Structure 1
Amino acid sequence: MSKNKLSRRPTANPAANQKQKLRPTGIDGVSVSGEPEIAKAGVRMIAIVYDGMLILALLFLVGTVLTVIGTMLTMETGVTSDQAQTLPRWYQNLVLTPAFILTLIGFYGLFWRRAGQTLGMQTWRLKTVDSNGQLLTWMLSIKRILAACVVPVMCGLIGYLLHGSRWAMLLSAFFGLIFNYAFCLFNSRGLAVHDMLSSTVTLKMPKIHHQSLLRSLRKKKGKASK
């Protein structure tokens, strides 16, 4: 997407707003290479893979703790833990599933609220902001997460109705997630589906070079060697 297309829009430009915040003033030797721009679909999906590993670890921890607690609460008297059957359906639906959803919301909400970046996004210099270039509120974070689930959930339901299997549902939901980001390729501004539904955007941030800091470190290293 070209910068000319962004400049034609009369609405608030988060990339332009962020550009002003990123350029340090009154600090010698600090330079910014380039300007913030809408993040491409490819780099955003790579960041999701990074975050996905951490999210899976968190979900495994939460699931393990709640499974142990659920087994202790629902296990019949006189039945050992080895003989305990699987958790009741009501416990899985009313406890485990909401806990997983809250874990997902908490993970993204905390990072977006504090810095606009998850750990995976930091690696690739991505930042999620609202339409004014500000960090997301909790309500806007939840809205963005729910917006990201719309297409995958719809695709998952269609897959389940057509084939009647859980694997078909999961595979269809995965393709729905891919579509969220593939939509960037067809949108004139490069926005994903959940960007448009939640009025948020993920930016690719420029590199910041601290030249004076590097020079001072080199000078100290040179003096120490003498």
Structure 2
Amino acid sequence: MVRLAALLYDGMLILSMLFLTSLVLTVIGTQLLMDTGTAAADAQTLPAWYQNGVMTPMAVLTLVGFYGVFWRKTGQTLGMQTWRLKTVTTDGQLLDWRASFVRIIYACLLPMLCAIIGTLVYGGRLAAVGSAFLGLLCNYAVCWFNARGFAAHDILSNTMTLKVPKIAHEGIFASLKKRGK
């Protein structure tokens, strides 16, 4: 449950980053590719090639960049720091870009497969999102059946997420009192 809470924290950060990158790319695409109007009837959508060829890869790069940078530097994203989790290789080293990318691919594999199956069986975007969410939960359900608590993507990518021990930090008020003396 702690891992899912950290994922939720990180998801909020990633969502805000995706909103920002989408906003910038939408403005750029609108300025470069479309005639803008002043009335609601003038509204248009960006071309499909721009959405699929520019905006979607940028969303993937945002996701890979977010996790890759944090896992390479400290082994912890901001959500993982909050819940005292750390992702390392099975020999205890921080992940490099390759290991980060492999871990992300394996973490997305089951949700993507479930989304495809959900779309084929039930049709529609809601079925795809619901099925992808079930696939994500299945990744973490493996933790309950694994003696070491590894998720499916941990096993496939030869990484592990560990619970970091609590460190006694000096409170902010105690540190301010020391500075004042």
* Same fold flag (TM > 0.5): yes
Alpha-carbon offset, residue 207 of structure 1: 1.6
The residue that corresponds to 1:80 in the other structure is 37
Structure 1 stretches of 4+ moved >4 Å: none
- 5+ residue gaps in structure 1? 1-41
Amino-acid identity (%):
60
Equivalent residue number for residue 106 of structure 2: 147
1:54 pairs with 2:36: no
Q: What letter matches 1:140 in structure 2?
A: A
Root-mean-square deviation over aligned CA pairs: 2.0
Name which structure has the greater RCO, CA cutoff 8 Å, separation 6+.
Answer: 1
Residue number among 8, 12, 22 corresponding to 1:63 in the alignment: 22
TM superposition shift of 1:73: 1.7
Q: CA deviation at 1:81?
A: 6.1
- CA distance in 2 between partners of 1:70 and 1:81 (Å): 17
Deviation at 1:164, TM superposition (A): 1.6
Is 1:89 the equivalent of 2:53?
A: no
Deviation at 1:209, TM superposition (A): 3.2
Which residue in 1 is equivalent to 2:118? 159
The SS at the match of 2:94 is coil
Equivalent residue in structure 2 for 1:200, among 150, 159, 165? 159
Q: 2:83 aligns with which of 113, 124, 134?
A: 124
Give secondary structure in 1 for the equivalent of 2:143.
helix
**Alignment partner of 1:169 is 2:99:** no
- Structure 1 residue 189: deviation in Å? 1.8
For 1:101, which of 38, 52, 60 is the aligned residue? 60
Q: Which has the larger radius of gyration?
A: 1
Structure 2's unaligned 5+ residue stretches are none
Higher helix share: 2
Aligned residues: 175
Partners of 1:159 and 1:170 in 2: CA distance = 8
Contact (CA 8 Å) 1:71, 1:81: kept in 2 or not? Answer: no
TM-score, normalised via structure 2 length: 0.90
| Residue 182 (structure 1) shift | 0.9
3-state SS, counterpart of residue 162 of structure 2: strand
1:187 aligns with 2:109: no
Determine the C-alpha separation between the residues in 2 that align with 1:69 and 1:209: 48
- Partner Cα distance (1:58, 1:81) in 2: 28
> How far has the Cα of 1:125 moved from its partner?
0.8
8 Å CA contact 1:71–1:84 kept in 2: the answer is no
